[in-house]
Structure 1
Amino acid sequence: MKKIITISLIFVVVLLHAAHLVEVDTVTSTGVILIVKPYYDASQKPKVYLYGPTGFIRAKYKGDDSYGFEDGLFRWVIPIIVGKNKFGQTVFGTISGPILDLYQYKKNISIKVVTNPEDLSLNVKVSTDYQLISGTIDGKNMILFKTSKGYVLYTKEKRNELKNVLSLKIKLPSGKIKTISYDLFTLNGFTTYLRGNFTPYVSTIIATHIVQKGETLWEIAKKYGVRTADLQIINNLENPDKIYSGMRLKIGTVQFTEGLTSIVVNLSTSRLAVYYAGKLVKVFPVAIGRSDSMPPGIYWILNKQIDPALYWYGEYIPPRSPINGLGTRFLQLSNPTYGIHGTTKPWEIGRRISHGCVRMFNFDVEVLDAFVDLGSPVLVIKSFENFPEDISQIPEFLSFKEKIKNKEGESS
């Protein structure tokens, strides 16, 4: 009996002290890689579960003690590790602390990505309290400068077209070197954030509203005569459906100022041009509305949706349905009647066929969505001239810039 008790105590000691080392290895703009090492003889790879602000998720094994999961903009996660030792016993627990602080890898780092339109060189301004060790894009080293305001990464190397990965190696206060990555996007040599950045804007606050039980953002916006997109932007609402009773909302309107990306739609030629810092990047064929259903003028991109659903006279038509004519992307314009979107009828591109929206091939609208900033101006014109290399050669754009200057003067 005494021998059996001794063996049982040994198993208890193993279960109590055997645990897993859990460390954050890499943080990207969309996901996190963890290193999970068992401190015992494991009979199989541990299963890694995480509890975060939105509930439970499971990390996927990537190889070499690495586990990955989609970030979802989490500030923290609680790892729950389940392993088995060589005796077939289930082993729980971590020795790295109950909570992993993901925010520490993001809160002190901000980047600004700018392409020089003259030579297409790339500058990345990095503001951080950490020490920046190095930076690469698509695996190629960038030149690193230390400045009084942070760091600058520079390269004249040609970037891969479409998706790019910017990786920064930083030194944490603990001395550990970690990698943080950002998704970028290159179109004809011009590089931006993937799906764009935020165009600068000025806001006018007119009221404060306490959300009542059962209210929707659309109902609140209608009550005050503003757009739902205005409320999303002013209140930093990532999901307009996630408002709750008792929530305090600022009510107001948003006016975007001048950013880096601009769009010009020519109704006369059924063409759309995208510009970066005033320089022509690419021209796309489009389908436009019958007659002048979208009048010439200036609009702004207020919202961007991936795989949008269609609501047609109260009927819900799911994303990617053959009868959902919005295609794979939808860019909502400041006039809610209009938008730029894909299509399920590519043979109609180049024709006057829509009810007022601008239709594009799905691949083209996905490129546009990936490149332009939220808040980009959309200038709708009628002209039989080709798009100029410089947007300032379009008379309507000069008038728009003058209005923007006046607006900025009023807000200062």
Structure 2
Amino acid sequence: MTQTTRRTFLTAALATLSTPTLLRAQDQQVLSPLVPRNVSGFVAQDWQDHFQSLDRVSILCDTGSRSLHYWNPVGNDYRIYPTSVPQTDELTKRGYTEIVRKKVGPTWTPTANMRKRDPSLPAFMPAGEGNPLGTHAMYLSWPAYLIHGTQDTRKIGRQSSSGCIGLFNYMIEELFAITPVGAQVRVI
């Protein structure tokens, strides 16, 4: 008959308790990138804390929680999307703006500052695979600032952009369809 030692008991207990966690972590790797990893960090927002009225589509880009909040003009459709956000505070423009233009299949022209930081960037990139703006883009009234998709899904949930707000391509497609030109936007 074997005697159960304290060490054997603790090892068995630890293995039993950690198994569900290990399986969940394994499932997360299989489901990524379709399952946003930072959803637990999202904080529900109230549009009244950010906008004077909800007379049109309203979008809040929260760079702290790396999320985009959408409200329709009636207030009965509230959605949250995981995003990529600017790499540094210096690249982050904050305040109120609006959607001034929308484009399916956007082309990309890096700014002079972007090319200065990374001289390997091309001067221009046509729409399509490899384009960092993804499949859809919504242009803000601030020059060179956009809400757009991304081909590189590893960027979502991270500080990885040069100033823009990035979403998974399938999510920007959904947001693009329900957001008209003129929608009010706040970046915090």
RMSD: 1.8
Paired letter, 2:87: R
Once the two structures are TM-superposed, the CA of residue 295 in structure 1 deviates from its matched residue by 2.5
Alpha-carbon distance between aligned partners in 2 of 1:380 and 1:334, rounded to the nearest angstrom: 12
Aligned equivalent of 1:336: 143
- The answer to whether 1:291 aligns with 2:98 is no
Paired letter, 2:69: A
- Does the 8 Å CA contact 2:138/2:147 hold for their aligned counterparts? yes
- The answer to whether 1:363 aligns with 2:167 is no
Could you list the per-position Cα deviations for residues 334-385 of structure 1 after superposition, in whole angstroms to 9, with x for gaps in the alignment?
001210000010111000010000000001001111001111011112xxxx
Alpha-carbon distance between aligned partners in 1 of 2:55 and 2:161, rounded to the nearest angstrom: 29
Give TM-score scaled by structure 2 length. Answer: 0.62
- Does the 8 Å CA contact 1:259/1:376 hold for their aligned counterparts? no
- Does the 8 Å CA contact 1:285/1:349 hold for their aligned counterparts? yes
Alpha-carbon distance between aligned partners in 1 of 2:135 and 2:171, rounded to the nearest angstrom: 10
Aligned equivalent of 2:49: none
Aligned equivalent of 1:180: none
2:62 to 266, 270, 281: 266
Could you list the per-position Cα deviations for residues 205-242 of structure 1 after superposition, in whole angstroms to 9, with x for gaps in the alignment?
xxxxxxxxxxxxxxxxxxxxxxxxxxxxxxxxxxxxxx
- Does the 8 Å CA contact 1:295/1:380 hold for their aligned counterparts? yes
1:144-159 equivalent positions in 2, closer than 5 A:
none
- The answer to whether 1:308 aligns with 2:106 is yes
**3-state DSSP of counterpart to 2:81:** strand
Alpha-carbon distance between aligned partners in 1 of 2:173 and 2:85, rounded to the nearest angstrom: 18
2:73 to 268, 277, 302: 277
Distance 1:345 1:374, change over 3 A: same
- Does the 8 Å CA contact 2:54/2:74 hold for their aligned counterparts? no
Paired letter, 2:173: E
Alpha-carbon distance between aligned partners in 1 of 2:181 and 2:74, rounded to the nearest angstrom: 17
**3-state DSSP of counterpart to 1:347:** helix
- Does the 8 Å CA contact 1:294/1:338 hold for their aligned counterparts? no
Aligned equivalent of 2:129: 321
Structure number with the higher strand fraction is 1
Once the two structures are TM-superposed, the CA of residue 311 in structure 1 deviates from its matched residue by 1.9
1:377 to 174, 184, 187: 184
Could you list the per-position Cα deviations for residues 219-271 of structure 1 after superposition, in whole angstroms to 9, with x for gaps in the alignment?
xxxxxxxxxxxxxxxxxxxxxxxxxxxxxxxxxxxxxx974211001111000
Give TM-score scaled by structure 1 length. Answer: 0.29
1:8-47 equivalent positions in 2, closer than 5 A:
none
Alpha-carbon distance between aligned partners in 1 of 2:100 and 2:143, rounded to the nearest angstrom: 9
Q: How many residues align?
A: 124
Larger RCO (alpha carbons 8 Å, 6+ apart): 2
Could you list the per-position Cα deviations for residues 313-350 of structure 1 after superposition, in whole angstroms to 9, with x for gaps in the alignment?
6733111131x100000110000121000001011100
| Runs of 5+ consecutive residues of structure 2 not aligned to the other structure | 1-52, 113-121
**3-state DSSP of counterpart to 1:311:** coil
| Runs of 5+ consecutive residues of structure 1 not aligned to the other structure | 1-256, 382-412
- Does the 8 Å CA contact 2:56/2:184 hold for their aligned counterparts? no
Once the two structures are TM-superposed, the CA of residue 278 in structure 1 deviates from its matched residue by 5.7
Identical columns (%): 30
- Does the 8 Å CA contact 2:67/2:82 hold for their aligned counterparts? yes
Could you list the per-position Cα deviations for residues 187-207 of structure 1 after superposition, in whole angstroms to 9, with x for gaps in the alignment?
xxxxxxxxxxxxxxxxxxxxx
- Does the 8 Å CA contact 2:109/2:123 hold for their aligned counterparts? yes
- Does the 8 Å CA contact 2:55/2:74 hold for their aligned counterparts? no
Alpha-carbon distance between aligned partners in 2 of 1:259 and 1:373, rounded to the nearest angstrom: 13
Paired letter, 1:320: G
Alpha-carbon distance between aligned partners in 1 of 2:74 and 2:61, rounded to the nearest angstrom: 15
Q: Which of the two has higher C-alpha Rg? A: 1
